[in-house]
Structure 1
Amino acid sequence: MLKNLDPLLNADILYALRSMGHGDEVVICDANFPAESVARDTVLGQLLRLDGVSSPRAVRAVLSVLPLDTFIDHPASRMEVVREPHTIPAVQREAQAEVDAAEGRAVPFVSIERFAFYERARNAYCVIATGEERGYGCFVFTKGVLLAPDAPHG
C-alpha cells in the first residue's frame, strides 16, 4: 500500500498514467466494450483491467492522479446512446459527478457517437476495462499538465 493513492490504482495502471504525456488520452470502459481488441491498437498495446469495479468508481480512481487538460474545450467525453444522443444514463450522470468532484468545477462530457468512440479509443494511449455491467459506461479523458506555481499558463 502507498499513502494518498487510491487502492484501485495497480502498478500497471499507475505506470500507464504516469507514462502518458499532455494531450494523451485514456479510455475507461464498461464490460460490454470490445476492450481487448481495441486496446491492441492503442499506444500501450495491451488492456488494463479493473474487474469488479463500476465505471464511475474507476473514473474517481484515475482522476485522483490524472489532471484533465485545461487547454482544450472538452477533456472529458462519453459514448452517446445509440439513436438517443441527448440521453444521459445513470452511469454517465454518476461519472459526471466524479469528474466535477475531481476537478473542483463543472467539466461537462461531450458525447461521441458509438463507432466514432471505438475509433477514438483505438488511438488512445491506453484502455482500462471495468466490471461495469450497465451500458454506456465508456469515457475518454485527455491528460493535462501540472505546472509549477510560478510557471506561465499558456
Structure 2
Amino acid sequence: MLKHIKPCISPELLKVLMEMGHSDEIVIADGNFPAASHNEKIVRLDGNDLASILEGILFLMPLDTYVENPICLMMHGKEVERPQIWKEYEELVTKSENVFKAEYLSRESFYERAKKAYAIVTTSEKALYANIILKKGVIVEE
C-alpha cells in the first residue's frame, strides 16, 4: 500500500503514468467507448466512475502548460446541450491547481486522437460524452 494514492488508481495505471513522457496523451473513457478497437494499450478500471479516476490522475500528473489546450473533450450531440459531467471535470482540474483549457472534438476526431494516445483507461462511467484526453506536462523545479 502507498499513501495518498486513490484506491481507483491501479498499479497498472501508475506504471503507465510513469512511462508517459512530456506531451504524451492518455484517454479516460466512459463505459460506452470502443477502447479495444482504438488502442492496444488499455488499462481496465471497471467499476469506477470517470471523475474519481480523473481526480486521482490529476493528483499525480501535471498537465502540459506548453500547449493551449492540454484537455480534449468529445463534443456532445444534439441530445445533450452541455454534459453535466464537464462541470465536474472543470472543478477537479481547477482543484488540482491546473487551468481548465479544453479543446472540443467531434466524435470522429476524438476517436482518431485516441488511436494515437499513449493509453486508454476504461471505466464504468454511464454519463454520455464523458470521454476526456489529458496531455502530460512536466514537473518544474521550485
TM-score category (smaller protein): over 0.9
Separation of aligned partners in 2, 1:111 and 1:84: 16
Please list every run of 5 or more consecutive structure 2 residues that lacks an aligned counterpart in the other structure. Answer: none
What secondary structure does 1:68 align onto?
coil
Alignment of 1:86-101 (within 5 A): 87-101=81-95
| Number of residue pairs aligned between Structure 1 and Structure 2 | 142
Q: Which residue does the alignment assign to 1:6?
A: 6
What secondary structure does 2:5 align onto?
coil
Match of 1:110 among 103, 112, 127: 103
Separation of aligned partners in 2, 1:5 and 1:116: 32
Determine what percentage of the aligned residue pairs are the same residue.
34
Return closer, same or farther for 1:76/1:84 CA change in 2, 3 Å cut-off: farther
Match of 1:131 among 112, 124, 129: 124
TM-score (norm. length: structure 1): 0.86
Separation of aligned partners in 2, 1:96 and 1:80: 15
Shift of 1:7: 1.9
1:94-149 CA distances to partner (integer Å, 9 max, x unpaired)? 122111111x2531322111100000000000000110011111000000000222
Separation of aligned partners in 1, 2:63 and 2:138: 8
* Aligned residue type for 2:87: R
Q: Which residue does the alignment assign to 1:48?
A: 43
Please list every run of 5 or more consecutive structure 1 residues that lacks an aligned counterpart in the other structure. Answer: 41-45, 150-154
Separation of aligned partners in 1, 2:99 and 2:17: 23
Shift of 1:39: 2.1
Structure 1: 4+ residue segments shifted above 3 A: none
Separation of aligned partners in 2, 1:6 and 1:55: 13
RMSD (Å), alpha carbons: 1.6
8 Å contact kept, 2:68–2:101 = no
8 Å contact kept, 2:39–2:116 = no
8 Å contact kept, 1:96–1:109 = no
Separation of aligned partners in 2, 1:92 and 1:38: 23
Residue 121 (1) aligns with residue 114 (2)? yes
Shift of 1:84: 7.5
Separation of aligned partners in 2, 1:60 and 1:124: 19
